[in-house]
Amino acid sequence: MKKVVIEESHYNVRIGKIIRTREMTGHEKLFEIALGGGVSLEHEPGQFIMLSVFGVGESPISISSSPSLGESFEVCVRNVGKVTGALHKMGAGDEVGIRGPYGNGFPIRILEGNDLLLVAGGLGIAPLRSLINYVLSNRRDFGKVHILLGCKSPEEMLFVNELDLWNRRMDVYYECTVDRGAQDWAGHVGRITTLIPGVHLEPERTFAIVVGPPVMYKFVVKELLAKDIPERQVLLSFERHMKCGMGKCGRCQIQGVYVCKDGPVFNYADIKNVSEAL
Amino acid sequence: MKDIQYVILEKEHFDGFISRLSSLQRLVAPVAKGYNNYAFEELTSGDQIALNYIPTILPPKKYFLPQEETLLEYSLDKGLHVDASVTYEKMVLFGVHTCDLAGIQCLNMVFSQKPKDYNYLVRKNSIHIIALECTAYCDDHASCNLVNASMPSGGYDLFFTDMGAYFIVHINTQAGDEIIETTNLFERADRAHLRELVKLREQKRSIFKNELSIDPRNIPALFDRSFDSPVWKDLGDRCLACGNCTNVCPTCYCFDIVDEMNLDLKGGRRYRRWDSCQLEPFAKVAGGENFRKERSARQRHRYYRKFRYPVPHYSRFFCTGCGRCTRTCMAEISLKETLSALIGGVPTQL
C-alpha cells in the first residue's frame, strides 16, 4: 500500500481561526472566523461552507456575513448536533476546518435593479443576513427593499442590534413578528404570513427571497403568489443534510437535483413540481 | 476486428499466467465461497479462480471506493497540522464481467466530474482490469441486456473469452499489452480464432435478449409517469430498510464522512464510508425534519437513481443488470418484478 498526500484534494480544509464569538440566544451563537494571511473566503451571499471541528466532524453551515465584511466572515450556528455542540464550546483563538464556499448563492446580478422582498423565518435570518447586509451596503443598486422577519418569541430573536438599525433606516421597509408575544413586546404577534398582505409592492419588478424552516415555505409562497409575484421571482433557499458539498455523497439530493451544487437557492417555478422539495 | 489486437492463451497456460501475474502485483479474482456465493479476493494461482461464477457478493467497486477510506489526517498536539491523502495499491482485477465493467464506468463518470474526486481517481489509475466474457446468463435475476451491458463495450485493459480449449483475448490498452508481453504466454490469434469469436458473439445474441417487455429507450418516460405509482407503496410495505441493495449495487456510491480521534487524543482522521439512501436517517436534517421518511419514498429514490436521474447527466442508466440487489434482498424485492409492475401498471404510450 502506498500513501500520497494530495494537497489539491477537495476534502482538504483550510484552517480558520475564531476571532470573536457572540452569544445571541440560548441556542445560537455567532462566530467570526478568519482564514488568516489576508485571505478572504470570497463567498457570495447565500453560499455555505463545510465547517469542521477536528475529531468531531463536519457540518454544512450557511454564511451569515456579507462579502463586504472583508477578510473575516461570520456564521450563526444553532446548537443542535455533535459538530455544532462542539463548536459552541469553542472560543476566540480556537481553530476550525473550512471547506468551500459551496452552492450557487443568491443571484445578485439578477436581483440588481429590482425591488426585493426579503423574508426570513427563525434561523433563516442567518443565511439571509448575508444578502441583507450586502444589499444595504450597495443600497443604490437595488430598488425598494422590504424585510419581513418572523420567529417564535422575542427572546429567540437573532441579530437584535442589527434589526434595530434596519428598522430605523429610511430606505428599508421593515416588519417583524413573533408567534408568541411577551410582556414587553409591542410588535406584531402572528405567523410571518400575516405580514405579507400588508406590503405594498409592484409584483412585476419584485423578487421575493425566502429563507426559513422547511415547513414555512408552502405557506409563505402561497401568500407571495397571491400578491402576483411571478413564480420565477420567488427564490427559496433549502436546508438539507450534506456530507461532501460537491454533489457526490447523495445526502441532499431532491430527485435529480443536488441542493449543494444546484442550490441551495432555487426559484419556485423550477422546484414547484418536484416532490420531496417542499 | 483488427487481428493484431487479439491473442490466444491455451488453457494449459492459464495457471502459469495467473501465477506470473500475481508475482508482479496484487491480483484479485472471483473465488467460490460456497452456497453459490462468490467474492473478489486476492490470490496467486489459477485453480483458486472461479471462472464460471455468478455476480460476486460485493462488486469490484470495493477496490475503487473502499467501504472505508481515510480522506484527512490531522495532528493537534504541536499546533494543528492537516494532510489530505490517498492510500492505493497497484493491482489487477481478473475476471470482471461486463455488468461490473459497466458499474466501474458509471463510478468513473461520477468521480471524474468536477470537482474531481482525487481519492477515487488515484486508485482507479492504479487498477488494471482483465474482463471475462459471460457466454450465458448467470441466473434469472440478471437483466444485463436491458441496460446494454451483456456485450463488451470498453472499460477494460484485456478481455478474456473462454473458447473451451483456449481463451481469446482482446488487447484494449497499452497496459493490457504490457501484461501480455511480460507474462509471455500468449500467441497471436489467427483468422480461424477470430471467426470462432464472431460465431460465439452471434450465439450470444440469441441467448441474451431484452429481459423485460419495454424498449430501454422508453424507460425514462416510464419513470416520468410512475412517480405516484402504487408499486412504491408495495415496496415500502415489504422493504426492511437494511441497505443491502445499495451496498451490493455496483453503481451506488453514496457515502458518509466521519471524524475519529486517535486513542492518544493527539490527532485523528476524517474518513468516508459507504452509506445508504435506504437507511432512515439518510436525508434527515439537524432540526429533525426527514425528507424521505417513508420506506416507499426511499425505495422509489433508489430506482429513480438507477433509471431516471442519471440519464440527462450521463446518458446511461446506473443499473448494470447484475441482479445483486434482487439476490441479496431479504424481503425478496426483485428489480425485474418491480420494473415489470411499473410497465404493467402504467398504460404504455407509443
**Residue A274 — pLDDT band, cuts 50, 70, 90?**
confident
Asked if the model's pLDDT at residue A278 lies above 90, the reply is: no
Q: Give the distance from residue B115's alpha carbon to the nearest chain A alpha carbon, in angstroms.
A: 7
**CATH number attached to the domain at A108-237:** 3.40.50.80
User: What is the bridge-based pairing of β-strands A145-151 and A115-121?
Assistant: parallel
Encode pLDDT of A113-149 as tens digits: 999 999 999 999 999 999 999 999 999 999 999 999 9
Hey, of B110, B118, B276, B293, which one would you mutate to test binding to chain A, going by the most A CBs within 10 A of its CB? B118
B79 falls in which pLDDT band (50, 70, 90)? confident
pLDDT of residue A36: 86
Average confidence (pLDDT) over B252-273: 96
pTM across the whole model: 0.94
Model pLDDT for residues B226-257, shown as the tens digit of each residue:
999 999 999 999 999 999 999 999 999 999 99
pLDDT at B204: 96
Residue ranges of chain A that CATH labels 2.40.30.10: 14-102
d(CA A62, CA B302): 29
**Where exactly does CATH 3.40.50.80 map onto chain A?**
108-237
Rounded mean pLDDT of A156-161?
Answer: 92
- List chain B residues with CB under 8 Å of A78: 286
Query: Which chain B residues contact residue A5 at CB under 8 A?
Result: 83-85
CB B248 within 8 A of CB B322: no
Nearest-CA distance A196 → chain B (Å): 25
Query: Residue ranges of the alpha helices (H) in chain B?
Result: 14-24, 61-64, 98-112, 118-125, 174-183, 191-207, 219-224, 230-238, 244-248, 295-307, 310-314, 324-328, 335-345
Chain B residues near residue A275 by CB distance under 8 angstroms: 227
Phi and psi angles of residue B26, each rounded to the nearest 5 degrees, phi first: -60, 130
Residue of B nearest to A81 (CA): B286
What pLDDT is recorded for position B240? 97
B292: Cβ contacts below 8 Å, ≥ 6 apart? A276, B277, B282, B283, B298, B301
CB contact under 8 A, A11 and B72: yes
To the nearest whole Å, the CA of B224 is away from the closest chain A CA by 11
Whether the per-residue pLDDT at A37 is higher than 90: the answer is no
What percent of chain A stands above pLDDT 70?
Answer: 100
Residues of B within 8 A of A214 (CB-CB) are 285, 287, 289, 291
Q: Report CB contact under 8 Å: A84, B80.
A: no
Q: Which of A52, A246, A249 sits opposite B254 (nearest CB)?
A: A249
Mutate to test the interface with B, among A90, A99, A123, A248 (most CBs of B within 10 A): A248
Averaged pLDDT, A3-23: 95
Which positions in chain A touch B283 (Cβ < 8 Å)? Answer: 240-241, 251-252
In whole angstroms, give the CA distance from residue B335 to residue B297: 16
Using CB atoms within 10 A of its CB, is residue B106 exposed (0-12), middle (13-18) or buried (19+)? buried
Residue A56 zone, left/alpha/beta (φ > 0; ψ -120 to 50; rest): alpha
Query: Which three cell numbers mark B250?
Result: 455496483
- Is residue B1 over pLDDT 80? no
B86–A1 CB contact, under 8 Å: no
**Proportion of chain B above pLDDT 70, given as a percent:** 98
C-alpha to C-alpha distance for B39 and B311, rounded to whole angstroms: 30
Using CA atoms, how far residue A67 sits from A8, A21, A102, in Å, is: 25, 19, 14
Contact list, B116 vs chain A (CB under 8 Å): 10
Per-residue confidence at B348, pLDDT binned at 50, 70, 90?
very low
Q: How far is A255 from chain B, CA to nearest CA, in Å?
A: 7
With 90 as the cut, is the pLDDT of residue A90 above it? yes
Q: Do A239 and B291 touch (CB under 8 A)?
A: no
Chain A positions touching B74 (Cβ under 8 A) are 54
- pLDDT tens for each residue of B109-154: 999 999 999 999 999 999 999 999 999 999 999 999 999 999 999 9
Mean residue pLDDT of chain A comes to 94
Measure A43 CA to nearest chain B CA, in Å. Answer: 17
Please report, for chain B, the start and end positions of each structural domain, with discontinuous segments joined by +: 3-65+76-207, 216-345
pLDDT band at B89 (very low <50, low <70, confident <90, very high): very high
Helices (H), B4-117: 14-24, 61-64, 98-112
Taking CB atoms and an 8 Å limit, are B254 and A239 in contact across chains? no
**Region A98-103 average pLDDT:** 96
Nearest chain B Cα distance for residue A248, angstroms: 7
Beta carbons within 10 angstroms of residue A174's beta carbon: 17
pLDDT score, position B287: 77
Evaluate if residue A70 carries a pLDDT over 90: no
Query: What per-residue confidence (pLDDT) applies to A214?
Result: 86
> A60, exposed or middle or buried, with CB in 10 Å at 0-12, 13-18, 19+?
buried
Residue B194's Cβ-count burial label (10 Å; 0-12, 13-18, 19+) is middle
* Residue A247: closest CA among B255, B60, B36, B126: B255
Contact A57 B87 (CB under 8 A): no
Chain B hits for A156, CB-CB cut-off 8 Å, are none
Rounded Cα distance, A90 and A84, in Å: 10
Residue A164 has pLDDT above 60, yes or no: yes
Candidates B89, B104, B88, B118; CA nearest to B27 is: B89
A47-63 mean pLDDT? 96
- pLDDT tens track for A207-241: 999 999 988 999 999 999 999 999 999 999 999 99
Nearest by CB to B259, which of A12, A55, A244? A55
B196-228 pLDDT per residue, tens: 999 999 999 999 999 999 999 999 999 999 999
B 274-293 residues inside an 8 A Cβ radius of A:
275, 277, 282-287, 289, 291-292
Angle in degrees, CA B246, B248, B254, rounded to 5: 40
What confidence score (pLDDT) does residue B349 get?
A: 43
Flag if B87 and A10 touch (Cβ within 8 Å).
Answer: no
Contacts of A59 in chain B (CB under 8 A): 286
Q: What is the DSSP secondary structure assignment for residue A127, as one 8-state letter? A: H
With b meaning 16 or more CB within 10 Å and e meaning fewer, what string describes A133-166?
A: bbbbeeeeebebbbbbbbbeebebbbbeeebeeb
Question: How deeply is B349 buried, as exposed, middle or buried, from its count of CB atoms within 10 A (0-12, 13-18, 19+)?
Answer: exposed
Q: How far is B63 from chain A (nearest CA, A)?
A: 12
| Sign, Cα dihedral of B299, B305, B309, B315 | negative
| Contact map slice: B 40-99 vs A, CB within 8 A | 71-72, 74, 76, 80, 82-89
| Length of chain B in terms of residues written | 350
Residues of chain B found within 8 Å of residue A52, distances taken between Cβ atoms = 259, 270
Residues of A in contact with B313 (CB under 8 A): 256
- Cis previous bond, A67, omega within 30: no
Instruction: Quickly count: other Cβ atoms within 10 Å of residue A16's Cβ.
Output: 24
pLDDT given for residue B350 in this prediction: 41
Topology (CATH level 3) of domain A14-102 = Elongation Factor Tu (Ef-tu); domain 3 (2.40.30)
Find, in chain B, the residue whose alpha carbon is nearest to that of A278. Answer: B291
Nearest to A54 among B268, B277, B304 (CB): B268
Considering only alpha carbons, which residue of chain A is nearest residue B116?
Answer: A10
Q: Give the pLDDT of residue B346.
A: 56
